[in-house]
Structure formats: C-alpha cells, structure tokens
Amino acid sequence: MSLEAQRAHALKHLRSKHDEFGYGPKWTFSVDALDRKNVAYVDCDLANDNLMRGGISYGEANITYASHPAHRGKGYVIRAVQLLTHFIADHTGARSAHFVIQPDNYASLRVAQGIDALDVGSFKNEEGQELLHYSVTIDRTLRTNKHSSRN
C-alpha cells in the first residue's frame, strides 16, 4: 500500500474502534510523534461491556490503544498508556485499569507487558471469542513527586 493508503487504512481502523468502543464516560487521545501526528490512539472507558462480562465493576477503567504499523515498537503507545493511567488517577475514581486483548494481537500484548500489567486470565465475549485480560492498579500515591521533576 502507498503511504497515503496505509494512513487511510489506519485511520479507518482507529475510527471504527472509537465508534464501537463503549457507552461513556470515555476520554480519547491522539498520540503524536515529534515529526508526525496521529501515530497512535489511546482511550479510557469507564463503562465497557466487555469488562462487565469479565466480572469487573462499572467505573473501573478499560484502556484501548492502536498504533499505525509504521510506528510500532518505538514506545509511543507504552508512554501514552502510562500517561493515560496518570490521567485516570487525576480525573476518575477508578482503582484499576484493564486491557482486553485478543490472544493473537502480539503488538498489544507487548504494550501490556511493557507497562508491567498483571495477566488476570481470560474470558469469552458474547460471540464466544477468547479474550485475554490484563490489569494495572491506579497508583495515586506520591503522584506529584513522581512526575514533577520534568522540565
């Protein structure tokens, strides 16, 4: 595919994920690199049906992310997810953030591993598809000391 076709394909995927993602309260962020805009997407949803089917309470955070293939492996999504967990700590009462990942989505699994997410197990969605469940605790302790030294 041409660069323009790749971008259109990635944008279509990101829009479809955005449109199907859940029923609110939700925050969505674009990830920009120094030399390129919209290299990835992250969002947080506090009312995701998949989490509730997996036994997680309403109000806990579900994080989803996607990256353009040309920008994978550069740490953009890992850093964006880390920043999103800080946003969750500052703006919600969620105690944990969860990641629902298809078993063959190796790029998403690398992100979960890159942020030291705990492998909680798996469950089946309403179509019978197995989904992996990862989780991180939202840390509100020493929040300002951890990130205030950045200049």
pLDDT in tens, 10-65: 878 777 766 655 545 888 999 999 888 889 999 998 877 666 666 666 678 999 99
Distance CA 80, CA 111 (A): 10
Alpha helix (H) residue ranges in the chain: 3-20, 49-53, 76-91, 106-114, 143-147
* 105-150 pLDDT tens trace: 999 999 999 999 999 999 888 889 999 999 999 988 755 444 444 4
Q: DSSP letters of 135-150? A: EEE---TTHHHHHTT-
Residue 61: name the closest of 70, 71, 50, 69 by CA: 50
As for how many domains the chain has, the answer is: 1
Report the C-alpha gap between 151 and 133 in whole angstroms: 36
Q: Could you list the residue range(s) of the whole structural domain that residue 35 is in?
A: 3-147
CATH number (domain holding residue 85): 3.40.630.30
As to burial, measured by CB atoms within 10 angstroms (0-12 exposed, 13-18 middle, 19+ buried), residue 19 is: exposed
**CA–CA distances in Å: residue 90 to residues 9, 117, 143:** 34, 20, 9
What pTM was estimated for this model as a whole? 0.75
- Interval 57-104: pLDDT, tens: 667 899 999 998 889 999 999 999 999 999 999 988 899 999 999 999
